Amino acid sequence: MRALVFRGPGDIRVEEVPDPEPAGDEVLLGITATGICGSDLHGYTGETGRRHPGQIMGHETVGRIVEVGSGVTAHSALAPGMTATVNPVIGCGACPQCAAGTEQLCARRQVIGVDPARRAAFAELMVVPTGNLVALPDSVPAEFGALVEPLSVGYHAAVRGEVTPEDRVLVIGGGPIGQACALAARRLGADQVVVSELSASRQALVSAIGFPVVDPGVADDLAEAVRTWLGGPATVVLDAVGTSDSLATCFAASSLGARTVLVGMGSPKVALEAYAVSTYERSLVGSFCYPSNEFRETAEWVATRPPGLEHLIDGRTSLADAPGVFAGLAAGELTANKVLVMCQEHGEAR
């Protein structure tokens, strides 16, 4: 099969590799499309050091079942030809966290696309543990299946922030995860949601999916602009940037007792205004992946085709052209919001 193989910073190539074969409890998936995540791009540039030479990356994916392993029972309801998306978080299956369904907190978890020992989804074929597959109805555009993973990240952040219909929600950052956070807040019933974003193209996309946008580069007083849009300071802030500056904005634009969720990973270390947390009794919580039930619930929600999803994908490329797209995104020459690598058919990035 063909796959994108990462060979080092700035070097990713299409190579022929052996076809994978499913073990007894695995499924062989023919990959339809895999989204290029910001973490993939940062791995490609070498910024994070979380991708390794020889690795096949990719975790935002959808495909069709080609073969089920010999140990997959009939009652699993998985069969060749079905469309499915993949929860990339694999727990050990034996610890209390896995028993509770919170595999993202398993100390021995593996993440497809991050763990170099696992061939991931920038390839024509991939093997997946049966329990990590979620089938999608044929009525859903297959490409929407590649959105389930990032949408689950945003949903878990909103759940961690305990968003309710009564909340005033500020989302910092209008990229794919910020978009997912805003959609998740709306999904949880919040109708007062505003997004802070610098990029004009992302501002347009966020507006297209139905959210007001504040441009921090234009607003004289960002906190006041947020209060104007929301009718008061934010009670929940979902920080999809994750830098010292974005956290400062979280505190400046939020109320006493507000909840801030740090889901962006723009910097491995941040400076924190401790008094802004303690004296105002704010909560600051982290959010990374998601429990398996939230991933399944998000897949079910995507299957209802909620408004806005059609705007999230604005670039497509074939496997053959994907190295050039990675290079263009890394250099800032391509400004697409979400590019899908079409692994079984040809496409063109735009």
The reported pLDDT for the residue numbered 141 is 94
Topology (CATH level 3) of domain 2-136+314-342: Quinone Oxidoreductase; Chain A, domain 1 (3.90.180)
Domain 2-136+314-342 and domain 151-286, same fold? Reply is no
Q: Which strand (E) or helix (H) includes residue 26?
A: strand 26-35
CB atoms within 10 A of CB 267: 14
Going by pLDDT thresholds of 50, 70 and 90, the confidence category of residue 151 is: very high
Confidence of residue 220 (pLDDT cuts 50, 70, 90): confident
Give residue 275's pLDDT: 94
What is the mean pLDDT of the segment spanning 186-211? 96
Q: Is the pLDDT of residue 72 over 50?
A: yes
Is pLDDT above 90 for 127?
Answer: yes
Q: In what order do the strands lie in the sheet with 213-214?
A: 213-214, 192-196, 168-172, 234-239, 254-262, 283-286
The predicted structure's pLDDT at residue 255: 96
What per-residue confidence (pLDDT) applies to 135? 95
Question: What is the pLDDT at residue 347?
Answer: 42
Confidence of residue 346 (pLDDT cuts 50, 70, 90): very low
Model pLDDT, residue 236: 98
| Predicted confidence (pLDDT) at residue 303 exceeds the cutoff of 90 | yes
The pLDDT score that the predictor gives to residue 78 is: 84
Average confidence (pLDDT) over 54-61: 96
**162: helix, strand or coil:** coil
Average of per-residue pLDDT across 334-341:
93
State yes or no: pLDDT of 210 exceeds 60: yes
pLDDT(138) > 80: yes
**What is residue 75's predicted lDDT score, i.e. its pLDDT?**
54
* Range 294-311 average pLDDT: 96
pLDDT value at 349 more than 50: no
pTM beyond 0.75: the answer is: yes
Q: 59: closest CA among 146, 134, 179?
A: 146
pLDDT tens for each residue of 91-111: 999 999 999 999 999 999 999
- Enter the tokens of residue 206: 């966020």
DSSP state of 19: P
Q: Which amino acid is located at 42 in the chain?
A: H
Topology of domain 151-286, CATH: Rossmann fold (3.40.50)
Residues 6+ apart with CB under 8 A from 331: none
Q: What is the pLDDT of residue 348?
A: 43
Mean pLDDT across 268-287: 94
CA distance 65 to 226: 46
Domain layout of the chain by residue ranges: 2-136+314-342, 151-286
Which range is most confident: 39-53, 189-203, 213-227? 189-203
Task: Kindly tell me if the per-residue pLDDT of 17 is higher than 90.
Answer: yes
Say what the pLDDT of residue 124 is. 97
Is residue 180 over pLDDT 50? yes
| Average pLDDT of the residues in 57-69 | 95
Across 110-133, average pLDDT? 94
Looking at every residue in the chain, the average pLDDT score rounds to 93
pLDDT at 74: 63
Place of tokens 């998306």: 85
